């Protein structure tokens, strides 16, 4: 904030969480500057197939309210009981529950809808506070600080009109509110544009990584190598000296009893198999831990393990450590000398995932299973072992380089978002003077 100048004179606000404010500003009750109303208590029994849209908390994402996935209410009942809850263009909505503190605006396509319980409508009082300044106030850190103050010592995550009626807002003259928010809008638009470009750069890096993996495991590293038709639809042309083999020629299914002293591992569709014990939090999210570890399947280094229900999403892993996996997983050990990690990389390519889907059975996506009896007939590539090793090393090396770029870009995005937040808070609390900012 060093590029901005402060106001000439300040005074104590009287609020410890705020400190000093410009001398001609005022600290006022929230309710004196902003009208607010929580959505009515509507029951599921009130829902209809069509009628007046009921905006849910899930519709408060991004800048504009969305009616995607909304319910509907009987227009006659709305007219009798809830007409004063209908939304107008330019209303602000703040989520008071699931995504606490999320703010969005009502546009033409959501005008006339009813806001559900858990959403609070905000309207600046005419002549006291303009809408853009209301928005800036409720996305600032001083608003969040007050919310946290009211939540202190409480297990509830919801705040409502009772809390808002006890809160305070910093209120400059109307003309300053307009100049402040005009500058905030320009600067945040610029920052948001940079964030968007950086997020797109990250997407491109991840696409590049996947393209690198796919090309390396199916075409090799030598761009001058002679190619041949593999005879396998999903593989297409492959290096002339590479072989194709059925899974059954490369692996055999094994069921080894578990051991009490081994860690429980899991397979992610994003990162393969873990190499250490799951944390309690991860177990809660991913698996239910069976008390008797002997009921698990034991895995050994070099094994290929997969989640039958997630194989069509890339749920394969090359095992690197002794451990245990769910009884619902398939475990296969190598029949010959080759790199299981190469097979994992191949099986996690987009074309392989589509092939696994073709071999899976089930009446719906969430019921699809890839049984060993089907998987054993899948045809895979088998390059010479030394090429498999070179491919793995190249992918690791390039992957680390790309990961470093992603990490650096993510850090840059975090700093931009921090700067955005700091600018808004500094502006609405009068730490910086934006009256003549351009």
Q: Is 45 among the domain residues?
A: yes
The C-alpha angle 107, 136, 6, rounded to 5 degrees, equals 150
Question: For position 353, what pLDDT does the model report?
Answer: 95
Residue 352 to residues 85, 164, 311, 345, 364: CA-CA distances in angstroms? 52, 54, 10, 10, 19
Residue 30 and residue 160 in one domain? yes
Residue 65 and residue 108 in one domain? yes
Q: Is 18 among the domain residues?
A: no
pTM for this prediction: 0.82
Question: For position 349, what pLDDT does the model report?
Answer: 96
Q: Is 3 among the domain residues?
A: no
Residue 390 and residue 376 in one domain? no
Question: Of 359, 382, 405, which marks where a domain is finished?
Answer: 382
Write the CATH number for 242: 3.90.220.20
Q: Is 12 among the domain residues?
A: no
**Three-class HEC string of the chain:** CCCCCCCCCEEECCCCCCCEEECCCEEEEHHHHEEEEECCCCCHHHEECCCEEEECHHHCCCCECCCCCCEEECHHHHHHHHHHHECCCCCEEEECCCCCCCEEECCHHHCCCEECCCEEEEEECCCCCCHHHHHHHHHCHHHHHHHHHHHCCCCCCCCCHHHHCCCEEEECCHHHHHHHHHHHHHHHHHHHHHHHHHHHHHHHHHHHHHHHHHHHHHHCCCCCCCEEECCCCCCCEEECCCEEEEHHHHEEECCCECCCCCCECCEECCCEECCCCCCHHHHHHHCCCCCCHHHCEEECCCCEEEECCCHHHCCEEECCCCEEECCCEEEEEECCCCCHHHHHHHHCCHHHHHHHHHHCECCCHHHCECCHHHHCCCEEEECCHHHHHHHHHHHHHHHHHHHHHHHHHHHHHHHHHHHHHHHHHHHHCCCCCCCCCC
Residue 40 and residue 93 in one domain? yes
Q: Is 8 among the domain residues?
A: no
Report the sign of the C-alpha dihedral through residues 322, 324, 327, 329, in that order.
negative
Q: Is 417 among the domain residues?
A: yes
Residue 389 and residue 305 in one domain? no
Question: Of 382, 398, 426, which marks where a domain is finished?
Answer: 382
Residue 74 and residue 181 in one domain? no
What tokens appear for 419 in the block?
Answer: 């700067």
Residue 249 and residue 371 in one domain? yes
Residue 201 and residue 264 in one domain? no
Q: What values do phi and psi take at 38, rounded to 5?
A: -85, 150
- Per the listing, tokens 């033409």 go with 108
Question: For position 155, what pLDDT does the model report?
Answer: 57
Residue 56 and residue 74 in one domain? yes
Tens place of pLDDT per residue across the chain (438 aa)? 668 899 999 999 999 889 999 999 999 999 999 999 888 888 888 888 889 988 887 787 778 888 888 889 989 888 888 888 889 888 999 887 645 557 888 988 889 898 888 889 999 999 999 999 999 999 899 988 888 887 655 555 677 888 888 999 999 999 999 999 999 999 999 999 999 999 999 999 999 999 999 999 999 999 999 999 999 999 999 999 999 999 999 999 999 998 888 999 999 988 889 877 766 555 544 445 556 677 899 999 999 999 999 999 999 999 999 999 999 899 999 998 899 999 999 999 999 999 999 999 988 777 889 999 999 999 999 999 999 999 999 999 999 999 999 999 999 999 999 999 999 999 999 999 998 876
Task: Show the domain range for 274.
Answer: 224-382
Residue 164 and residue 34 in one domain? yes
Number of domain units in the chain: 3
Q: Is 316 among the domain residues?
A: yes
Residue 403 and residue 371 in one domain? no
Please give the Cα distance from 325 to 223 (Å, whole number). Answer: 39
Q: Is 13 among the domain residues?
A: no
Q: What values do phi and psi take at 309, rounded to 5?
A: -85, -15
Question: Of 382, 410, 428, which marks where a domain is finished?
Answer: 382
Contact between residue 198 and residue 412 where contact means Cβ atoms under 8 Å apart? yes
Residue 243 and residue 305 in one domain? yes
Question: For position 9, what pLDDT does the model report?
Answer: 97
């Amino acid at each position: 904030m060093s590029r901005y100048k402060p106001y000439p004179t300040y005074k104590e606000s009287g609020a410890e969480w705020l400190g000093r404010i410009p001398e001609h500003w005022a600290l006022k009750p929230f309710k004196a500057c902003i009208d607010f109303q929580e959505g009515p208590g509507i029951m599921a029994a009130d829902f209809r197939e069509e009628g007046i849209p009921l905006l849910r908390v899930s519709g408060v994402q991004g800048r504009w309210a969305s009616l995607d996935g909304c319910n509907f209410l009987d227009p006659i009942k709305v007219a009798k009981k809830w007409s004063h809850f209908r939304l107008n263009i330019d209303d602000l909505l703040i989520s008071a529950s699931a995504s606490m503190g999320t703010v969005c605006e009502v546009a033409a396509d959501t005008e006339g809808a009813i806001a559900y319980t858990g959403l609070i409508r905000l309207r600046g009082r005419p002549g006291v506070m303009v809408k853009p300044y209301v928005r800036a106030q409720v996305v600032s850190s001083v608003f969040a600080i007050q919310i946290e103050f009211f939540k202190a010592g409480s297990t509830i995550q919801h705040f409502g009109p009772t809390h808002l009626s006890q809160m305070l807002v910093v209120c400059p003259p109307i003309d300053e509110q307009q100049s402040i928010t005009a500058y905030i809008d320009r600067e945040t638009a610029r920052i948001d544009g940079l964030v968007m470009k950086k997020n797109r750069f990250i997407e491109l890096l991840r696409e590049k990584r996947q393209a690198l993996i796919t090309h390396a495991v199916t075409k090799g590293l030598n761009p001058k190598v002679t190619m041949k038709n593999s005879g396998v639809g999903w593989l297409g042309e492959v290096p002339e000296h590479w072989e194709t083999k059925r899974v059954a020629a490369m692996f055999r299914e094994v069921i080894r009893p578990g051991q009490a002293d081994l860690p429980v591992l899991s397979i992610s569709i994003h990162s393969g198999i873990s190499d250490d014990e799951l944390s309690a939090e991860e177990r809660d999210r991913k698996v239910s831990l069976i008390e008797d570890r002997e009921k698990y399947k034991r895995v050994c280094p070099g094994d290929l393990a997969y989640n039958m229900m997630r194989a069509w999403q890339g749920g394969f892993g090359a095992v690197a450590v002794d451990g245990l996996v769910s009884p619902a997983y398939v475990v296969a050990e190598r029949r010959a000398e080759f790199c299981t990690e190469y097979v994992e990389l191949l099986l996690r390519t987009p074309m392989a995932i589509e092939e696994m889907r073709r071999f899976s059975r089930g009446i719906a996506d969430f019921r699809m299973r890839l049984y060993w009896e089907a998987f054993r007939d899948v045809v895979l590539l088998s390059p010479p072992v030394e090429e498999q090793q070179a491919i793995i090393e190249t992918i690791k090396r390039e992957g680390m380089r790309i990961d470093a770029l992603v990490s650096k870009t993510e850090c840059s995005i975090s700093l931009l978002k921090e700067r955005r937040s700091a600018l808004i808070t500094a502006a609405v609390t009068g730490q910086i003077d934006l009256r003549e900012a351009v």
